[in-house]
Amino acid sequence: MSQQYPGPHQPPHPSQQPGPWGPPPPKKKLSTGAIIGLSIGGVFAFLVVLGAVVGDPKQDDGKPAAKEVTASPTATSAPAPTTLPATTTAPATPAAPTASATPSRKPETGKLPSFVGKGLQFAQDEAQSLGFYGLRSHDALGRDRLQVLDRNWKVCSQTPAPGTHPTDVVIDFGTVKLEETCPEKDVAAQPETEAGGTMPDFKGKSVNVARAALPDNASITVTDAAQDRMVLMESNWKVCTQTPAAGTKIDGRPITFKAVKFEESCP
């Protein structure tokens, strides 16, 4: 049988066209697992859409729902400011007591015993135990020595005398070293001079006392009157001679003392 071709006015049937216009491929059937998966996916998609609709804050008319307004705890708990009436006045401040209203306090008194002949350290401790705390001491021999170690000194005199006194009184003890004899008279007073004055009589007095009595700008030389020794501790040396002499005007001239130790005699 010979093949017939259509005429020029009849297009060929698609089934007869070559290439992509050929007959369609047969359809594939879905398996049971695929159908179940698609069903579960559809249910899940439906639930998602339903949740979005239920959770939409918009009302049915398309307007957003009004938010709930709660009162601030600060605004509700703070009390309203209270104002005083116009006629209310502040209470008057009591006046401070005047000085005349306060009674003057008298110092306490105590009984001061005699400490003459006692050790300086004991006398000071005992006086403090009785309420007397204003204590001081000096060299009764007039040598202007310091009582560095109170246990090495003894009391020769005291001011004020034994008796009843205010506890704030200052007690002054005249003292000497334990191996020394108390003088008949306390010679603690030192001669006082001023620049432009006259020379006191320093014979028999401590070189230390003489130096303290002279002006600070005085030029002073001290030599040993008995031997060729250096005068180191001037409170242990006494003046034998002096230049210029006592009564001479202090006019800036250099001053010279010759001295020996107190236990020695002047040559």
DSSP secondary structure code for residue 189 in this structure: -
In the three-class reduction of DSSP (H, G, I as helix; E, B as strand; rest coil), residue 233 is classed as coil
Do 224 and 260 meet the contact criterion of CB atoms below 8 Å apart?
A: yes
DSSP secondary structure code for residue 136 in this structure: E
**Rg, C-alpha atoms of the chain:** 62
Do 225 and 257 meet the contact criterion of CB atoms below 8 Å apart?
A: no
How many H-runs (helices) and E-runs (strands) does the chain carry? 4, 8
Domain with CATH 3.30.10.20 in the chain: 109-177
- pLDDT reported for residue 70: 46
- pLDDT reported for residue 171: 97
Whole-angstrom distance, CA of residue 144 vs CA of residue 206: 7
* Structure tokens that stand for 38 in this block: 């698609």
Q: How many CA atoms lie within 13 A of 151 on its CB side?
A: 0
The kind and range of the H/E element at 127 are helix 120-129
Do 187 and 209 meet the contact criterion of CB atoms below 8 Å apart?
A: no
CATH 3.30.10.20 fits 109-177, yes or no: yes
* Burial group, residue 183, by CB count within 10 angstroms (0-12, 13-18, 19+): middle
Neighbouring CB atoms inside 10 A of 110's CB total: 15
Sequential pLDDT tens for the chain (267 residues): 444 545 455 555 544 555 455 555 555 555 566 566 666 766 666 665 556 555 554 444 445 444 444 444 444 444 555 555 555 555 556 555 555 555 566 679 999 999 999 999 999 999 999 999 999 999 999 898 999 999 999 999 999 999 999 999 999 999 999 999 999 998 765 555 554 589 999 999 999 999 999 999 999 999 999 999 999 999 999 999 999 999 999 888 999 999 999 999 999
- pLDDT reported for residue 219: 96
Whole-angstrom distance, CA of residue 242 vs CA of residue 223: 11
DSSP secondary structure code for residue 198 in this structure: B
Q: How many CA atoms lie within 13 A of 109 on its CB side?
A: 6
